[in-house]
Amino acid sequence: KGKPVIIGADPKEGKGRGVIATCNYEARKYGLHSAMPISQAYKRCPHGIYLKPNGKKYFKVSNEVMDILEIYSDNFQRVGTDEAYLELTEITKDCGEAEKIAKEIQKEIFTKIGITISIGIAPTKSLAKIASDENKPNGITIVKLETIYEFLKDKDITRIPGIGKKTKVHFYKKGIKRIGDIINTPLPTMIKLFGKHGRWIWNVANGLDNRKVKEFHEERKSISAERTFFSDTDNFNEILSKLEDINKKDFQELI
């Protein structure tokens, strides 16, 4: 606790290959972030605690958390390993009751599993997602219909799901940098500039996301694996040998 922890490839004292999978908030104070080259991370934070990923443990803990969340609502939607939506509209009268449930969820998960979670309470899925990122770690953020504009107006447009680092460049060129800029731009203009994506972004910014919360099961259609060489190589036999090893492991997982 209180120390920078980095999950990812072995830094090998700054000579390692690979990237950061994730890191804690202490590590982020040094400018570290997901997908950063591990060698660069080591240069910025050589005293950090570097750990290898443990996928099996993460999925186990994730399932334990989801099992708890599912108890609190019949309308439950899991999104990946660390995110989920709960529909509480039919079982709560107002945001105050929803906040009480959120606190109960946080308490139960911390007591039983020992981890903290951040929760966003809002009229739409997209706003709840944005709100959940507001007060990490272990925060609860409430956005009401009448407070949507005040909550969003000064936030960078990248806070909207669907706008990444590359996409934001196109918005910035048009002078749209804050979510408030989107709200104040007429919908026809957004559609003219950005097409269907512009409509979606405008709707999210104005609290008009009508997607329902529901469990979604998708059949797994592919499997993948990757390995990073310690140094660059053009040795065909070495590459072929590594590919054969990876294929064997993938095949074992399939059967």
- The residues annotated as belonging to the active site are 83
Would you say 159 and 130 are in contact if contact means Cβ atoms under 8 Å apart?
yes
Task: Please give the C-alpha separations between residue 30 and each of 9, 33, 240, 246, in angstroms, as whole numbers.
Answer: 18, 9, 39, 34
- At which residue do the structure tokens 């590590």 appear? 27
Look at strands 20-23 and 5-8 and give their pairing: antiparallel
- Rounded distance between C-alpha atoms, residue 183 and residue 98, angstroms: 27
Residues 6+ apart with CB under 8 A from 172: none
Residue 37, judged by CB atoms within 10 A of its CB (0-12, 13-18, 19+), counts as middle
Radius of gyration of the chain (CA): 22
CA-based nearest residue to 118, from 110, 164, 126: 110
- At position 17, the amino acid (one-letter code) is R
